């Protein structure tokens, strides 16, 4: 792994690392970005502290990974297409994306990476958890691996799920399409196998099965993938920025800060077709 001058500090045994010594308001050269991406591929999620960046600078950083993914159902900032402002107000009791999931799995080209930048956070609470889908796959029995290897899943965006008022889908009356993906996904950059599954709110069933038949298998796999030894937990501060690889990680926003306001700016980068 190239690391140049990067100061990389793992935050847990399973995955996740903070990178120090990088100012994201400055333009990154090819080698510097390559070093950062190497750390992301190694650790699954990377975190930067004390960043003061504009939406344009955040967007420029995200574009190093590829084409910006425009969420098919959620509005973006008026002057910055591709940046979703995620707001949980003091009176809100639910969070956006409040389940274990990988982003945009409900599309044919799910997200490669997600970038989240903290604008306003509560004094305590609102952490995000991540789960290592490489380790989750590796820990399965040979029998389970053989059973799930050929399976595909069907995912669909749940527009009726309760969410903060500021995060209401723009086209709630239009049926969301379905997307099919392999249940075991080979990472296109590392070649490693990973479970590729989200909670029941997104991954609805196994192709060729009913939801009732599918859910015992899918629920087991999500519960298995999110065992404590496969996870890390990130504590947000104003100016913190996270980037995670959706092709090998689940994430979960912890909703433990009712009565407090939280504002985040999110960008997702379009990934590869899985089929």
Q: Is 266 assigned a catalytic role? A: yes
pTM over 0.85: yes
Q: Is the pLDDT of residue 155 over 60?
A: yes
pLDDT (tens digit per residue) in 223-233? 999 999 999 99
| 11-18 average pLDDT score | 98
Annotation says 23 is catalytic: no
The residue-averaged pLDDT of 144-172 equals 80
Q: What's the topology of domain 7-270? A: Double-stranded beta-helix (3.60.130)
Average confidence (pLDDT) over 176-192: 96
* Predicted pLDDT of residue 161: 66
Average pLDDT, the chain: 93
Average pLDDT over residues 42-58: 98
pLDDT band for position 72 (50/70/90)?
Answer: confident
5 catalytically annotated: no
Question: Pick the catalytic residue: 185, 251, 262, 265?
Answer: 251
Residue 1 has pLDDT above 50, yes or no: no
pLDDT band at 3 (very low <50, low <70, confident <90, very high): very low
- Which residue would you say has higher pLDDT here, 214 or 167? 214
Domains of the chain by residue range: 7-270
Average pLDDT of the residues in 195-208? 97
The answer to whether residue 101 is catalytic is yes
* Selected residue with higher pLDDT from 209 and 173: 209
pLDDT-derived band at 2, boundaries 50, 70, 90: very low
User: What string of DSSP letters covers the chain?
Assistant: ---TT-EEEESSSSS-EEEES--TTSPP-HHHHHHHHHHHHHHSEEEE-S----HHHHHHHHGGGSSEEPPSSS--BTTBTT-EEEEE-TT--S-TT-SSB-TTTTSSS-EEEEEEEEEE--SS---EEEEEHHHHHHTS-HHHHHHHTT-EEEEE--TTS---GGG--TTTTSPPPEEEEESEEE-TTT--EEE----TTTEEEETTS-HHHHHHHHHHHHHHHT-GGGEEEE---TT-EEEEETTTEEEEE----TTS-EEEEEEEEE-----
pLDDT at 75: 82
Flag whether pLDDT at 164 surpasses 90.
Answer: no
Q: What whole-number percentage of the chain has pLDDT above 70?
A: 93
Q: What is the pLDDT of residue 168?
A: 64
């Amino acid at each position: 792994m190239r690391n140049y001058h990067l100061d990389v500090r793992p935050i847990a045994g399973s995955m996740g690392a903070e990178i120090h010594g990088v100012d994201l308001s400055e333009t990154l050269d090819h080698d510097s970005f390559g070093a950062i991406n190497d750390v992301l591929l190694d650790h699954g999620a990377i975190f930067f502290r004390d960043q003061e960046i504009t939406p344009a600078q955040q967007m420029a950083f995200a574009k190093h990974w590829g084409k910006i993914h425009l969420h098919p159902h959620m509005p973006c900032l008026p002057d910055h297409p591709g940046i979703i402002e995620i707001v949980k107000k003091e009176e809100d009791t639910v969070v956006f994306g409040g389940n274990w999931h990988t982003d945009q799995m409900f599309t044919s080209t799910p997200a490669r990476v997600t970038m989240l930048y903290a604008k306003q956070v509560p004094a305590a609470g609102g952490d995000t958890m991540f789960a290592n889908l490489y380790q989750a796959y590796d820990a399965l029995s040979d029998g389970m691996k053989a059973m799930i290897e050929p399976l595909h899943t069907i995912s669909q965006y749940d527009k009726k799920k309760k969410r903060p008022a500021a995060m209401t889908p723009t086209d709630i009356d239009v049926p969301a399409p379905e997307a099919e993906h392999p249940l075991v996904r080979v990472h296109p950059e590392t070649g490693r196998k990973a479970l590729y599954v989200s909670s029941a709110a997104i991954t609805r069933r196994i192709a060729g099965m009913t939801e009732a038949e599918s859910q015992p298998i899918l629920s087991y796999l999500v519960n298995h993938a999110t065992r404590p030894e496969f996870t890390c937990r990130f504590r947000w501060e104003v100016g913190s920025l996270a980037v995670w690889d959706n092709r090998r990680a689940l994430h979960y926003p912890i909703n433990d800060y009712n009565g407090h306001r939280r504002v985040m700016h999110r960008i997702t980068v379009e990934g590869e077709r899985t089929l």
